[in-house]
Chain A
Amino acid sequence: MNIKSQKDFFSGLMFMVVGVAFAWGASNYTIGTGARMGPGYFPLALGVLLTVLGGIITFKALVVETVDGDKIGAFAWKPLIFIILANLVFGAMIGGLPRIHLPPMGLIVGIYALTFIASLAGDRFNFKEAIVLASILAVLSYLAFIKLLNLQFPVWPAFLTA
């Protein structure tokens, strides 16, 4: 068996897996009939449809020739990890993590943390530059979101304001 288009082969697989998962999930709800649709009717139909579409895509990827094999290419792990991590840490700073007794640290700390971690995703990391950028972003965000737009954010760490 020869994969002619890597991208299509794996996207087809993805659609099939997701389709089956949704259809299987839908079968736990009442399906009902056409005239009286239960909550499972439409998702079940869509899940089956997605699985079929995924199957066709995968099949085509095995049969139809492509010029360069449509390689997926290497995953950019570094940006992927740091960007997502920056986002998660920001969330933890804003909301705190009660499970590990981390109090909310507020927007300003969050901005510094996010900027630092996100900057690590780039080709070059410059500590001084990251500090300057974070400070600019912190001031601008404070003025724009807190002062001007009045968004409800915890700004400072909880132990300082409490």
Chain B
Amino acid sequence: MDLFNNLALGFGVAFTLQNLMYAFIGCLLGTVIGVLPGIGPLATIAMLLPATYALPPVAALIMLAGIYYGAQYGGSTTAILVNLPGESSSVVTVIDGYQMARNGRAGPALAAAGMGSFFAGCVGTLILAAFAAPLTELAFKFGPAEYFSLMILGLIGAVVLASGSLIKAIAMIVLGLLLGMAGTDVNSGVARYSFDIPELTDGIGFIVIAMGVFGYGEIISNLGKHESERQVFTANVTGLMPTKEDFRRMVPAVLRGTALGSLLGILPGGGAVMAAFAAYTLEKKTRLEPGEVPFGKGNIRGVAAPEAANNAGAQTSFIPLLTLGIPPNAVMALMVGAMTIHNIQPGPQVMTSNPELFWGLIASMWLGNLMLIILNLPLIGIWIKLLSVPYRWLFPSIVLFCAIGVYSTNNSTFDIWMVAIFGVIGYLFIKLGTEPAPLLLGFILGPMMEEYLRRALLLSRGDWSVFVTRPISAGLLAGAVLLLVIVLMPSVKSKREEAFVDD
């Protein structure tokens, strides 16, 4: 069995003392930062990315995967304990999780989230390992036209599944694509939009945008709110283990959530958010057992299912990234940036040219999940302490870590000036109600899209019909159109607005 050989290779890489340590440090750091209220996984990864610069590529990616899982886990902890969803995918966890916490059942809620996530993570890893090889085969059949169409599908998918106004999200993607144009054009050597500033001929750093928009923008907006709006209610946590009754209810919910999450996660557009919503809706549709707490009042299934779904989705969303090199969501876009910094061009060639890295990463994802459950659940007391750190100590520290992180990327103060500009822009985005995540996705994909479009049209001698005459490309574009049509249908439109109303 190839699958097992590959996984064995991966675990061989991941189980070195050094890499285990990096996975552990990553999980720990990710949780520490991710648990802080108001910092989602995106900001966490952006902030901690510089910590991996000095490491060899495999170790760096393993640590990053750890940070990612830690941040997600930390996010759900904050969601359950203080009613603050750190990211959109834990929006539904808040509903029942916080109610459980208020009823003094924060422990079981956290355990349910942790165990559900772990199980989903295991399944997700297996799916990832199983599908990676065949999908990579497919990827080698892709020509430039197919890649271009796939990116269109991915970008449309990302905004369709995201929250908020559709057209504003599309505009943000286009803005991101345009920002990605800054810098030297690879074909002509012309420095575009660089205003004769030497540093800008290399383009705008994605770290600069991520930290400015997600780090500084968020902090400024948080500080602008009245103190009572960021009031933190810290629940008492007593007893971690769910009861036998809890387990009996949890297990089917976790299974359903995992199945839904794995399926939706593979779709371009990063289904983690949609997976969580869908899983919660599904649970609500099933009949309540006699004596069970209703949904919205602290039902454990309302925590376990969406958490499982969102973790399974997070795992399987690595599939398009690792096999095709296309990030399906903003977090994965950040991972692309991280890989390029370590001189790895994500895509189908990673698996063949760098099998240790590829399978080592997959194995360490599973390890990351395991570490989270055996280390983080017992440490829950510490995380709660962290939650009670006052915001007035927290935000100067975050500003400092952002500034240090930005500077250390290139050892250049120019990046610090740039992050200041993007901090102001990020705050403006928040004030104008425009979601910044699609911008980052567009920014990463911009140069790739231009290159594929250019090559596709060069091969077809300027004939645009190449995108619809090649079957795979036509299918991908049809998928994108279909997604748009579905979302714009009146019945779906009202449902979608309803689902995101708590955002």
Contact = CB atoms under 8 A, between A and B. Distances in A.
| A interface bracket (residues with beta carbon within 8 Å of B) | 35 or more
Interface string B280-294: 000000000000000
Interface in B98-144: none
A153 B219 CA distance: 25
A79 B223 CA distance: 6
Contact of B432 (A72, A115, A119, A149): A72
A91 B462 contact: no
A114 B188 contact: no
B178 A47 contact: yes
B400 A84 contact: no
A25 interface: yes
A75 interface: yes
Given A30-B188, A90-B416, A91-B417, A119 B453 contact: no
A38 B188 contact: yes
B170 A53 contact: yes
Interface string A104-124: 000100010011001101111
Interface string B401-412: 011100110011
Interface stretch (B260-268, B270-278, B388-396): B388-396
B492 interface: no
B462 A87 contact: no
A7 B432 contact: yes
Contacts of A53: 167, 170-171, 174
Contact of A133 (B54, B219, B397, B413): B397
A82 to B, nearest CB: 9
Interface in A66-85: 70, 72-76, 78-80, 83-84
A18 interface: yes
Given A10-B432, A76-B220, A29 B192 contact: yes
Nearest to B408: A151
A75 B427 CA distance: 9
Contacts of B216: 83-84, 87
B171 A84 contact: no
A151 B172 CA distance: 34
A79 B224 contact: yes
Interface string A127-154: 0011001100100010001000111110
B416 A123 contact: no
B306 interface: no
A124 B392 contact: yes
B396 A114 contact: yes
B433 interface: yes
Interface string B164-180: 01011011001101100
A162 interface: no
Interface stretch (B37-45, B368-376, B418-426, B473-481): B418-426
A35 interface: yes
A125 to B, nearest CB: 9
Interface in B185-242: 185, 187-188, 190, 192-193, 216, 219-221, 223-224, 227
Contacts of A35: 457-458, 460-462
A158 interface: no
B399 interface: yes
A62 to B, nearest CB: 14
A49 B174 contact: yes
A133 B167 contact: no
B188 A83 contact: no
A88 interface: yes
A69 to B, nearest CB: 12
Q: Chain B contact residues (Cβ within 8 angstroms of A): what range?
A: 35 or more
Contacts of B460: 35
A70 to B, nearest CB: 7
A137 B400 contact: yes
Nearest to B216: A83
A37 interface: yes
Interface in B342-398: 391-393, 395-397
A58 B392 CA distance: 38
Given A39-B192, A91-B403, A95-B413, A80 B396 contact: no
A83 B233 CA distance: 26
Nearest to B399: A118
Interface string B428-444: 10011110000000000
Nearest to A13: B432
A15 B178 CA distance: 11
Contact of A119 (B170, B190, B224, B396): B396
Given A53-B167, A79-B224, A133-B397, A87 B420 contact: yes
Given A88-B416, A152-B411, A83 B434 contact: no
B420 A84 contact: yes
A150 B408 CA distance: 10
B496 interface: no
Contacts of A29: 185, 188, 190, 192
Nearest to B396: A118
Contacts of B393: 129, 133
Given A33-B462, A50-B178, A118-B395, A39 B167 contact: no
A75 B431 contact: yes
A60 B19 CA distance: 53
Contacts of B51: 149
A76 B171 contact: no
A39 B183 CA distance: 11
A8 B168 contact: yes
A122 B395 CA distance: 9
Contact of B399 (A25, A86, A92): A86
Q: Which 4 residue pairs across A and B have the least CB separation, nearest first?
A: A76-B224, A35-B462, A95-B413, A91-B416
Given A34-B464, A76-B224, 16 more contacts: A8-B165, A11-B433, A15-B171, A18-B178, A37-B453, A43-B178, A43-B192, A50-B178, A57-B168, A72-B431, A76-B427, A88-B416, A90-B403, A91-B413, A94-B407, A137-B400
